[in-house]
Amino acid sequence: MSSSVPWVELDSYAALLAAVDRDPVVVFEVGPELLAPPLRVGDAVLFRRMTQLGWAGGMCLGPADDVARLLAGPWRTHPAWAAERSMTVRTECQDALAALGARAVGEWSWLFVVPDEVRRRPLPDGVSVEAGLPRAHAAAFVDVEYTTRWLPPETDGEVWVALRDERGTVLGTGLAAYTPTGAIRLSSITIAAAQRGRGLGRALTQALVDIGAHAPAVVLGVDDDNPTAAALYAAMGFRRVHDLVSGSLQPA
C-alpha cells in the first residue's frame, strides 16, 4: 500500500483488540483469525465479523468524526475490502453510513451476558425443554411463527432448543451457535403467536443460555422495533453495549 493511504492497517487480532480497547463485540465475536485486515483512522477501527445472518460484514467503531473520516476515505481500494456488501456503525454515525449509499438500513442493539449472571426463573408449569430439536422442525416452526422468516446457515456445533407443552406441541424455539471466539450467539428466538405473554420468551432464552453455560459470554442482537424483547433481555441481565445501524452496500 502507498504511504499516502490515510489509514493504518492492523496486522493481528491482538492489535485489533488494543485498537478498540477490548470492545466486547471484538472480544466475543471476532477472531482470532481475522476475516480482513482491520483499518484504523484516528480512533475509528474498521473490521469484519460474522453476522447472525450467516455472512461476513464490516463494522466500524469509534468516535463519529473519525468514523466519518474513515468511511469517506478510500478504504474500498484495499483488495480485502473492495467487495464489502454490508456495514454496521453506532447510531450516532448513521450519517457516515448514509454517505456510503447504504440500503435497507436497520437499527438494532448488541447485548451480552455472562452465563452465571443471568437472572433466572422457574419454567412455567407444564413446559419442558428439548435441546437438539432437528433443524428442519425448527425451520418449519419459524417459517410459520416468525415474521422475518429467515434462518442463518447451518453451522458446526449449533443447537436448536424447543419448549414443549405436556402434549409435546412445540411452543417456541431458538438457536444457540458458537462465534469464532467460543462465545454463544442466540438467534431466531420464536414463540408461537398464540402462546405469547406467558413468560415463554424468558424460559426459552434461559434454556438457550444454558447451552452456553461454559462459554465466556452469550451474545445477541435485538431490533429497535422489538421493545418487548429488549425489556426482557435487560430484566434477565443482558448488558446493552452498542446501539447500531446496519445497511447493505453495492460492491465497489
**pLDDT in the model for residue 41:** 97
**Angle, CA of 229, 235 and 238, to the nearest 5°:** 80
What is d(CA 11, CA 204) in angstroms, rounded to the nearest whole number? 40
What is d(CA 126, CA 9) in angstroms, rounded to the nearest whole number? 56
Per-residue confidence in pLDDT tens, the chain, 252 aa: 444 558 999 999 999 999 999 999 999 999 899 999 999 999 999 999 988 777 899 999 999 999 999 999 999 999 999 999 999 999 999 999 999 999 988 999 999 999 999 999 999 999 999 999 999 999 899 888 876 656 777 877 899 999 999 999 999 999 999 999 999 999 999 999 999 999 999 999 999 999 999 999 999 999 999 999 999 999 999 999 999 999 999 876
Which architecture, in CATH terms, is 115-216?
3-Layer(aba) Sandwich (3.40)
What is d(CA 168, CA 146) in angstroms, rounded to the nearest whole number? 20
Query: For residue range 75-117, what is the model confidence (pLDDT) as tens digits?
Result: 999 999 999 999 999 999 999 999 999 998 899 999 999 999 9
pTM, to two decimals: 0.92
Query: For residue range 18-30, what is the model confidence (pLDDT) as tens digits?
Result: 999 999 999 999 9
Q: What is the CA radius of gyration of the chain?
A: 19
